[in-house]
Amino acid sequence: MKPILITGGRVIDPSQNFDETADLLIKDGIIEKVEKGIKPPSGAEVIDADGLVVTPGLIDIHVHLRDPGQEYKEDIKSGTRAAAAGGFTAVAAMANTSPVGDDPSMIRYVLDAAAGASARVYPIGALTKGLEGKEMAELGRMKKAGAVAFSDDGKPVSSGTMMRNALQYSSGISAPVIAHEEEPTLAAGGMMHEGSVSSLLGLKGMPAAAEEAMLARDLMIFKITGGRLHIAHVSTAGSVELLRRARAEGLPVTSEVTPHHLLITDRLVKNSGYSTSTKVNPPLRTEQDRQALWEGLLDGTIDAIASDHAPHHTDDKDMEYDFAPFGIAGLETTLPLMLDEVKSGRVKNFTLPMLIEKLSSAPARIFNLPGGTLQAGSPADLTIIDPERTFIINPDTWQSKSRNTPFGGRRLMGAPVYTILGGKITMEEGVPTE
Amino acid sequence: MQTLRRKDILGLEEMSAEEITLILETARSMREIMQRKIKKVPTLRGRSVLNLFYEPSTRTKASFELAQKYMSSDAVSVAGSSSSLVKGETLKDTVRNVEVMGVECVIMRHPVSGSSHYLARSVEASVINAGDGMHEHPTQGLLDMFTIWENKGRLEELKVVIVGDIRHSRVARSNLWGLQKMGAEVMVAGPPTLMPPDLNVFGVKHFTDIEEAVEDADVVMALRLQKERQEGGLFPSMREYAELYGLNAKRLAHAKEDMLIMHPGPINRGIELSSELADGPRSVVMDQVAAGVAVRMALLYLLLGGTKE
Amino acid sequence: MALKHKATVMDEKGMQQALRRIAHEIVERNKGLRRIALIGIRKRGVPLARRLQAYLNEIEEFDIPFGILDITLYRDDLSQRQDQPEVHTTDVPFDLTDKNVILVDDVLFTGRTVRAAMDAMVDFGRPASIQLAVLVDRGHRELPIRADYVGKNVPSSRNELVEVRIQDLDQAEQVDILEKAPE
């Protein structure tokens, strides 16, 4: 493997509070050093990063790879290529596959299939068998097989006792539980956020209270269980407030937010004429919620940004609103969308180092993953970003098998130009190298 | 020349007062044809129309079919069964068939809100929404307005009360938009569990006391109460609903003498509306049915009468 | 397209005389008014038919059935027009069967309006006969149709427009030929 020297870039490593122009040398797949004026070793490939930003390889902790079972939507190969194209070196894959990832053999399948792929895949095991919320899955054995966290994501854990036991038990194996907060009877049959827009459109709504009631329950339970609780895709102002209070009380709860909840609202369901690319769960909320999510992200209440990449085949989404599945693809849009937010200055105090932190060191910390840092001796997972690059979202050019996005056609400023995984370039100029 | 410059009729929310006026005036001319011995004009000879009903409907379907026959168009009616709808394949495949068969106008009733938007986006043919889920039922709204206009001579400054399940009602939504655009004052009455969330987005006042709501009202419109709403836990029993919110002579004792009583049908007699009122002198329920054909003839003419560019 | 006034072919007096003459011809041909009915074609046929009714009643006092016909829905060019014409109400409040119907219009040109009007009338019943009265016949027929009563024959070019103005609708009473002048 040729050494790689990246010269003259702005190196941002939130894990070390580092933000300086420097050179970075990679040798044998390991970060050798970050310094000014490194001489290129013989035979080294030199990347001129003048005007570019060098960051730890980005990690998306909420991705659905659909493999096994729904490979027509996405598979581990296409999903990791999409990750590399989008500037990610690692993804955490949810367990709602077919069969469900509730068994050590399934965890091993994912890891085997991901060997040699364009990004690292960290499997998330199911919390309960078959995602049915009734019997606890073999968390310990899955952990040993390589699962990094446990979740029934896509579905809430209805039973309070089940959630209590899962949190308590997982504390014994030090693995976080990821909660999809949705009180199922309040949200039953809902297609979008419940409010004025759902009333206008005549679509059944999911009230903000459905998310908040379940989150409140889990926070109460968490107080008596110990363990680690991570809240997936926080979407309402009330949830942010509950999390802020819990953190103030010293509860070690973490959370993530998606770019779509930060950027668009339920108005888009109406303005797009019921476009199914606006159908996501949790649903797009109101402008007030959107503002609150930004506040939560900026003040640290929300730890990470994650895409909730939910690929679907075009045929699955090309139908009546009620019948279309929830979810949009996000691996190839997340970074450019968020870079554009930094560049535009629309959100006060949202800086590039903060964005990188929410996409690298914070995810690594939450799931206790090895990456997310540029410390010498770490695996050479890096992302190189051109913050001045004009980027137009065009699903037709995606590496993902899916095309479902409400952001198609958006003209943005900022895009990844290199993704490097373990010292190997996996993406150059937006195109995966293999 | 006033014309309707739109491809589709999806709802009254997006329609202007001028457009609504044109439709109502055209409907008035169409109603004359219905009174002839030979109820047929050759206007839409050779134009093809498809009626696509994914929900059972007697009145609306018959009304559209008669309107199509009176206008001499060639119409085919297809009843989609809701069981084959589960994965939405039917509508998507139908869309392709519509294109190939050269249908120029599709009338669709569908249980999913927004499905007429989906269809309109996917085909070149004009689409008339004959009711989509809980969203809108624009032709019903128009025929209700036509009925009021014919009986009262105007819509401006009339006070109209809609009573019942506003939340799940596409009829209510179309009327709320249409009547307010035409200058009427609209209010709604019924149990809070049957009101849509954030009701103020429609700009109407809500009453829980029916007698208070109908005071000074020029029109009161009762909506059909679906049994499954009670099963869904939104109110305790049909009996209690009738007692608290049903319209009957006693409850309207202090209402205006010339108040119109309307219902989109079919009526649950004795629940939302008493027979005494439904069949009484103030009832214009039958006028509504007749108006339906005239309004639909007008829409077919306005959408298909000229060539499309 | 600019329109240029070319000539006035009838003035108020000329129009009155023409209608009076037509009234006499109607009475003569139908041997009285017993089975006569008048139907004006919208728009200018209607006030003209009203005039005729008045002149007929000067000759003989009789309650002549009167109807208004809007032929929009019977036009044969609807699918060729981008904007559909506004529909107005037709009002034929009597049974046409066995009546000698006098159809009244302002200008007879291609004959297509009259064709549409005859189609419409057939839907109202089976008249004994249909006769056509027009104020102006300007030629250029596209269908085998002729008028039974003509106020004035006005040979015209296709490039010209014959404009009939009637007091009730236009605040003037005359017939003009206008020429379409290229810009």
- The string of pLDDT tens digits covering residues A75-98 is 999 999 999 999 999 999 999 999
Q: How many contacts does A have with B, using Cβ atoms within 8 A?
A: 74
**C-beta separation of A222 from A201 below 8 A:** no
Q: What is the pLDDT of residue B50?
A: 93
Within 13 A of B135's CA, how many CA atoms are on the CB side? 27
**Residue corresponding to tokens 């130009």:** A417
Q: For B154-298, where are the E strands, in sequence order? A: 159-163, 185-189, 205-207, 219-222, 260-262
Distance CA A12, CA A21 (A): 9
CATH topology for the C2-73+89-181 domain = Rossmann fold (3.40.50)
Does an H or E element contain C113, and which? helix C112-124
| Whether residue A194 is found in the same domain as residue A284 | yes
B201 has a chain A CB within 8 A of its CB: yes
- If asked whether residues A322 and A227 sit together in one domain, one would say yes
ipTM for this model: 0.92
Q: B43 and C90: CB-CB below 8 Å?
A: no
pLDDT tops 80 at residue B88: no
**Same domain for A184 and A305:** yes
Establish if A205 belongs to a structural domain: yes
Residues of chain C with pLDDT under 50: none
Neighbours of B92 (CB within 10 A): 17
Q: Catalytic residue, from A60, A218, A308, A340: name it.
A: A308
Please determine, for residue B82, whether its predicted confidence score (pLDDT) is greater than 60: no
Closest residue by Cα to residue C54 from C103, C99, C105, C20:
C20
Residues A414 and A363 in one domain: no
pLDDT of residue C79: 64
With CA atoms as reference, the chain B residue closest to C81 would be B306
Rounded to whole angstroms, the Cα distance separating B195 from C114 reads 56
Q: Average pLDDT of B105-117?
A: 95
Q: Say whether both A254 and A342 belong to one domain.
A: yes
**Chain C nearest-CA residue for B39:** C123
Asked if residue A157 is part of any domain, the answer here is yes
What is the CA C59 to chain-centroid distance, rounded?
21
Q: Does B229 touch chain A (CB under 8 A)?
A: no
Return the residue matching tokens 């019977």.
C74
Q: How many domains would you assign to chain A?
A: 2
Q: Which chains touch A (3 or more CB pairs under 8 A)?
A: B
Residue A43 shares a structural domain with residue A76: no
Which residue of B lies nearest to A274 if distances are taken between CA atoms? B114
Residue A202 touches partner B, C-beta closer than 8 Å: yes
Stated length of chain B: 309
| Cα dihedral sign, B199-B202-B205-B211 | negative
pLDDT at B3 over 90: no
Q: How many whole angstroms from its chain centre is CA A54?
A: 20
d(C-alpha A277, C-alpha B273), whole Å = 42
Nearest chain B residue to A275 by CA: give it. B118
Q: Is A318 on the interface with B (CB under 8 A)?
A: yes
Helix (H, G, I), strand (E, B) or coil at B186: strand
How do the domains of chain B map onto residue ranges? 17-137+289-304, 140-287
| A195–B197 CB contact, under 8 Å | yes
Instruction: Flag whether residue B115 sits within 8 Å of chain A, measured between CB atoms.
Output: yes
Tell me the shortest Cα–Cα distance from B19 to chain A, in angstroms.
21
Q: Are C86 and B2 in contact (CB < 8 Å)?
A: yes
Q: Determine the Cα–Cα distance for residues B152 and B145; give it in Å rounded to an integer.
A: 10
User: Looking at residue C169, what is its pLDDT?
Assistant: 87
B140-287 CATH: 3.40.50.1370
What the block records as the tokens of A173 is 């194996």
Asked if B131 is an interface residue toward chain A (Cβ–Cβ < 8 A), one would say no
Name chain A contacts of B118, Cβ cutoff 8 Å. 274, 319-321
Chain C: list its partners (3+ Cβ pairs within 8 Å).
B
Size of interface B-C (CB pairs under 8 A): 63
Last residue in a domain, options A367, A391, A409: A367
| Contact yes or no for B95/B138 (Cβ under 8 A) | no
Distance (Å) from the alpha carbon of B45 to chain C's nearest alpha carbon: 10
Q: Which residues of B touch C73 (CB under 8 A)?
A: 33, 41-43, 71, 301
Considering the domain architecture, whether residues A118 and A31 belong to the same structural domain is answered as: no
Chain B contact set for A207 (CB, 8 A): 197
The verdict on residue A373 lying in a domain is no
Q: Determine contact: B108 vs chain A, CB below 8 A.
A: no
B301 touches B44 (CB < 8 A)? yes
pLDDT above 90 as % of chain B: 78
CATH number at residue A394: 2.30.40.10
Set of chain B residues whose Cβ sits within 8 Å of the Cβ of A324 = 88
Do the chains contact at A196 and B197, CB–CB below 8 Å? yes
* Whole-number Å distance between alpha carbons of A58 and A259: 15
Residues spanned by the domain of A101: 58-367
Which chain B residues touch A195 with a CB distance below 8 Å? 197-198
Dihedral over Cα of B11, B16, B22, B25: its sign: positive
Q: How far is A408 from chain B (nearest CA, A)?
A: 17
pLDDT tens column, B150-200? 999 999 999 999 999 999 999 999 999 999 999 999 999 999 999 999 999
Is residue C27 within a helix (H) or strand (E), and if so which, with residue range? helix C12-30
Confidence of residue B89 (pLDDT cuts 50, 70, 90): low
Query: pLDDT below 70 — which residues of chain A?
Result: none
pLDDT-derived band at B295 (thresholds 50, 70, 90) equals very high
A199 touches chain B (CB under 8 A): yes
Which pLDDT score, from 0 to 100, does residue B61 have? 95
Q: Are residues A133 and A45 in the same domain?
A: no
User: Among residues A328, A346, A367, which one ends one of the domains?
Assistant: A367
A297 assigned to some structural domain: yes
- B92 to A207: CB separation less than 8 angstroms, yes or no: no
In C, which residues are within 8 Å of B302 by CB distance?
Answer: 84
Local confidence band at B1 (pLDDT 50, 70, 90 cut-offs) = very low
Decide if A308 is catalytic: yes
Q: Does residue A143 come out as left (phi exceeding 0), alpha (psi in the -120 to 50 range) or beta?
A: alpha
Q: How many CB atoms lie within 10 A of CB B147?
A: 24
* CB-nearest partner of B201 from A194, A199, A274: A199
Contacts of B206 in chain A (CB under 8 A): none
If contacts are CB pairs under 8 Å, which of residues 257-296 in chain A contact chain B? 273-274
Determine C/A contact with 3+ CB pairs under 8 A as the test. Answer: no
Chain B: list its partners (3+ Cβ pairs within 8 Å).
Answer: A, C
Same domain, yes or no, for A329 and A203?
Answer: yes
Residue that finishes a domain, picked among A317, A336, A367: A367
Residue spans per domain, chain C: 2-73+89-181
Residue A318 domain flag: yes
For residue C90, which residues of chain B lie inside 8 Å, CB to CB? Answer: 29, 32-33
Nearest by CB to residue B196, choosing from A199, A207, A318, is A199
Query: Which residue in chain B has the smallest CA separation from A200?
Result: B135
Phi, psi of A151 (to 5 degrees): -165, 150
Is there a single domain that holds both residue A176 and residue A27?
Answer: no
Please give the pLDDT value at position B308: 43
Which CATH number covers residue A102? 3.20.20.140
Nearest by CB to residue A202, choosing from B92, B113, B198, is B113
CB contact under 8 Å between A321 and B199, yes or no, is: no
Architecture of the domain spanning B17-137+289-304: 3-Layer(aba) Sandwich (3.40)
Q: Taking an 8 Å Cβ-Cβ cutoff, which residues of chain B contact chain C?
A: 1-3, 22, 25-26, 28-30, 32-33, 36-38, 40-43, 46-47, 71, 298, 301-302, 305-307, 309
Out of C74, C84, C124, closest to residue B3 by CB: C84
